[in-house]
Amino acid sequence: MTSNPVNSSQLPIFRQAVFVKMIHWINLISLGIMIGSGLQIYNANPVFGGRAGWHFPDFLTLGGWLAGGRDWHFAAMWLFSVNLLIYGIYIGLTRRWQRRFVTASDLQVLKVGQNPKRKTYAWHRFVYTAIIPVLLLAIATGLAMYKPAHLHWLSGLFGSWQTLRTLHFITVPIVVLFAVIHTLLALKIGHWRMIRSIFF
């Protein structure tokens, strides 16, 4: 028994506002810069194992040296943070949060739902919502390390400097994992058409 191939003309057409496309491109570019420059900063004084700890290969880093890594990192941090703030305001004004963030109904579907498509949508919204506190933690710990004297009250919330650095470092693989899951769920929902609609 063979299944009929899906006619591409029958697949849904996804359209995103130019503003949303710009937000996603800025997020992607600034995140890439922060990761590369962050690894350069890490190599100068590894979070784990001290100066003799494991280092990342040079081709993964950006900045060339500690000061260069910091310059790239903090410049991209402001771009990333302001971009997220603008997107947050946009979501609030357009009420997109009603379709983007997880609801009690979604949680119920994840527990007992039988409709695979509905569960995929629920997982998408759950992941989209769960990344928010991680992003806030990344920004808070980054600001605390950027201006430890001016924001001593913020850095003090995390106890030691090592705890602060460790928490900030851990947010990176979580954000990368979110991006991967976010993309896979989008592919499951709308195939490559949805991915293309977000960036092109």
How distant, in Å, are the alpha carbons of 26, 45, 59, 113 from that of 50?
Answer: 33, 6, 21, 48
Residue 102 in contact with residue 122, Cβ under 8 Å? yes
CA gap 35, 52 in Å, rounded = 21
CA gap 168, 111 in Å, rounded = 32
- Quickly count helices (H) and strands (E) in the chain: 7, 0
Q: Which two tokens mark 183?
A: 């993309």
Q: Show pLDDT as tens, one digit a residue, over the chain (200 residues).
A: 444 444 444 555 567 778 888 999 999 999 999 999 999 999 988 888 777 778 899 999 999 999 999 999 999 999 999 999 998 898 888 887 777 788 899 899 988 888 888 888 899 889 989 999 999 999 999 999 999 999 999 999 999 999 999 999 999 999 999 999 988 888 887 778 877 887 88
Q: Which residue has the tokens 């003090």?
A: 156
Residue 139 in contact with residue 81, Cβ under 8 Å? yes
CA gap 128, 131 in Å, rounded = 6
Residue 37 in contact with residue 73, Cβ under 8 Å? yes
